[in-house]
C-alpha cells in the first residue's frame, strides 16, 4: 500500500534512540519516556527492515534515497548507525544517501572520520553564539552546551561544506536571530535554516520581533550575494524560489519522507516519534507490513496543493502549507502563536526577497544572476518579477 499512498517517497528518518544527553528547554519530545515505559534504542533488525521498506517503496527515478538518523541524540546509538551503513553492498553509500541530525556534542574526530568515509550529510542543531546556544540547549546539570560543540565546528565547515546549521528561535532569543545567523556565517557555515519553537509562548511583541528579524536576515543574505560570497539561508531561498517561479516546497511529512519509530512504527515525520503521549493516533503502519492507515491530513494537503497550482496569487504571497506536527501539538497542548502568524512570516519573506531581487538584479550581481538563472532552468520559468 505504501507505494500508492506515498508516490513521492524519497527517504526515511530513523528514530535510532529516544535518549538524549541534552535537556533543551524547548524540546518537543514530551513527556520523555522512562526506560521501563518504552524501548530506548532501535534494534538492528528494525533498522534494516526500515531501509528495505524504503528501497521497495521509493518513488521512481530516485537514485539514492535518503536514510536519515534522528533521536534523541542519534550518536548515542552509533553502533546501530554503523551497522546500517556497513551491512553489505545493498546498503552502501552508492545506493543510499546517509544523513544525520545531531546536537554536535559527540562529534569527535573519529566520528567525523567515519562520516567522511561514508559520505554523510550532517545537520547540526545550533542556535548561535555561546550566549544564545546556552540559553536553551542545556546539559542535564543545567550548564550550557556550546563548549561541547565548538571543537567540531571548524572541521565541519572545512570538511563538510554542505553541513546545515539548524537554529531554533524562541521568544527569548528572537532579538538575536539575525545576529545569530551572522555569527554562524562568520564561523564558516554555508547553509543555514531556522524555525520558531512551536512549544514556546509567543506574544504580539515577540512575533513582531520575529518578523523584523526576517527582514534583517534577508539583508544579510543579499549582502553576502552582492559580495560574491553566497550563503544559502534556506527559508530565504525557498521564498525567493516561489517569488521567481511560483513553485513552493510543501511539508515533507508523509510526502517526501516518513519517520520510523524505535519499534518500527511508521509516522508522518520525525516529530511524531517524540509525541510520546499522542503519537499512536498518527501511526500509519509498520515497516514489516507497510502503510495500513494513510495519514488523516493527506486529503487536506492534496486539496491545498491543488489550490496552489496557479503560478502566483494576485499579490504574490507565499502559499503556506499546514504543519501536521504543529497541529497535533496544538490540539493537545495549545501553542501560543496568533492566527495567521505563519502567513505573515511568509509575506514578510516574500516582500523582502522582492526588494533584494530588484536590487541584486539591477546591480548585475554575478552570484545572484547565477542563482537566478539556475532557478529559471530548474523550473522552466522565464517570467520576471
Over residues 73-111, the pLDDT tens digits come to 999 999 999 999 987 556 656 689 999 999 999 999 999
**What is the structure's pLDDT at 335?**
62
Measured CA to CA, the distance from residue 342 to residue 248 in angstroms comes to 15
- 377 is a domain residue: no
- 51 is a domain residue: yes
**What is the structure's pLDDT at 38?**
53
Average pLDDT, whole number, for the chain?
Answer: 86
**What is the structure's pLDDT at 337?**
75
The C-alpha cell at 283 is 501511526
Alpha helical stretches, state H, 60-145: 78-85, 109-117, 130-136
- Could you give the 3-state DSSP secondary structure of residue 368? helix
Closest-CA residue to 350 (of 245, 275, 239): 239
Measured CA to CA, the distance from residue 19 to residue 369 in angstroms comes to 46
What is the band of 42 on the pLDDT scale with cuts at 50, 70, 90? very high
- 380 is a domain residue: no
Task: Name the more confident of 217 and 295.
Answer: 217
Task: Name the more confident of 279 and 168.
Answer: 168
Q: How much is the average pLDDT of 135-160? A: 96
Nearest-5° angle of CA 319, CA 253, CA 241?
A: 35
Tell me: pLDDT of 245 over 80: yes
- 385 is a domain residue: no
pLDDT tens, 366-382?
A: 999 999 998 888 766 55
User: Which pairing describes strands 121-125 and 97-102: parallel, antiparallel, or unpaired?
Assistant: parallel
- 247 is a domain residue: yes
Name the DSSP class of 89.
Answer: G
Q: What percent of the chain has pLDDT over 90?
A: 62
- 312 is a domain residue: yes
CATH number of the structural domain spanning residue 192: 3.20.20.70
Closest-CA residue to 27 (of 147, 138, 161): 138
Domain count, the chain: 1
**What is the structure's pLDDT at 317?**
41
Do the Cβ atoms of 167 and 194 come closer than 8 Å? yes
Tell me: pLDDT of 141 over 90: yes
Out of 199-203, 250-254, 270-274, the most confident range is: 199-203
Q: What percent of the chain has pLDDT over 70?
A: 82
**What is the CA 189 to chain-centroid distance, rounded?**
16
**What is the structure's pLDDT at 70?**
95
Task: Name the more confident of 253 and 355.
Answer: 355
pTM for the model stands at 0.89
- 383 is a domain residue: no
Q: Which domain holds residue 282?
A: 2-371
Measured CA to CA, the distance from residue 39 to residue 37 in angstroms comes to 7
Measured CA to CA, the distance from residue 251 to residue 254 in angstroms comes to 8
The C-alpha cell at 231 is 550563503
Measured CA to CA, the distance from residue 184 to residue 224 in angstroms comes to 13
Tell me: pLDDT of 310 over 50: no
Amino acid at each position: 500500500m505504501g507505494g500508492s499512498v506515498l508516490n513521492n517517497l524519497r527517504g526515511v528518518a530513523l528514530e535510532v534512540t529516544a535518549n538524549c544527553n541534552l535537556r533543551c528547554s524547548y524540546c518537543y519530545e514530551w513527556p520523555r519516556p522512562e526506560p521501563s515505559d518504552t524501548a530506548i534504542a532501535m534494534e538492528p533488525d528494525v533498522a534494516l527492515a526500515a531501509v528495505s521498506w524504503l528501497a521497495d517503496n521509493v518513488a521512481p527515478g530516485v537514485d539514492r534515497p535518503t536514510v536519515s538518523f534522528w533521536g534523541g541524540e542519534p550518536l548515542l546509538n552509533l553502533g546501530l548507525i554503523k551497522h546500517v551503513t556497513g551491512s553489505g553492498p545493498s546498503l552502501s553509500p552508492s545506493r543510499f544517501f546517509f544523513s544525520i541530525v545531531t546536537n554536535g556534542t559527540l562529534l569527535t574526530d573519529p566520528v567525523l572520520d567515519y562520516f567522511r568515509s561514508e559520505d554523510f550529510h550532517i545537520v547540526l542543531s545550533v542556535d548561535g553564539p555561546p550566549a544564545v546556544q546556552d540559553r536553551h540547549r542545556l546539559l542535564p546539570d543545567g550548564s550550557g552546551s556550546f563548549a561541547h560543540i565548538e571543537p567540531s565546528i571548524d572541521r565541519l565547515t572545512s570538511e563538510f561544506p554542505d553541513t546545515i546549521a539548524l537554529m531554533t528561535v524562541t521568544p527569548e532569543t528572537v532579538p538575536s536571530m539575525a545576529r545569530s545567523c551572522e555569527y554562524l556565517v562568520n564561523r564558516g557555515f554555508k547553509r543555514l535554516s531556522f524555525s520558531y519553537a512551536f512549544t514556546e509562548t509567543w506574544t504580539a511583541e515577540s512575533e513582531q520581533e520575529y518578523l523584523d528579524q526576517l527582514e534583517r536576515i534577508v539583508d544579510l543574505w543579499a549582502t553576502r550575494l552582492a559580495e560574491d560570497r553566497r550563503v544559502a539561508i534556506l527559508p530565504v531561498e525557498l521564498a525567493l524560489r516561489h517569488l521567481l517561479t511560483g513553485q513552493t516546497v510543501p511539508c515533507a511529512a508523509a510526502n517526501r519522507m516518513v519517520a520510523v519509530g524505535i519499534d518500527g512504527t511508521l509516522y508522518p515525520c520525525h516529530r511524531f516519534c517524540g509525541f510520546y503521549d499522542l503519537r499512536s493516533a498518527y501511526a500509519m503502519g509498520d515497516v514489516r507490513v507497510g502503510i495500513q492507515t494513510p495519514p488523516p491530513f493527506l486529503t487536506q494537503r492534496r486539496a491545498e496543493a491543488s489550490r496552489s497550482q496557479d503560478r502566483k496569487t494576485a499579490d504574490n504571497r507565499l502559499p503556506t502549507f499546514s504543519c501536521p506536527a504543529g497541529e497535533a501539538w496544538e490540539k493537545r497542548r495549545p501553542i501560543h502563536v496568533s492566527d495567521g502568524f505563519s502567513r505573515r512570516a511568509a509575506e514578510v519573506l516574500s516582500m523582502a526577497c522582492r526588494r533584494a531581487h530588484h536590487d541584486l538584479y539591477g546591480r548585475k550581481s554575478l552570484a545572484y544572476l547565477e542563482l537566478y538563472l539556475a532557478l529559471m532552468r530548474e523550473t522552466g520559468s522565464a517570467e520576471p518579477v
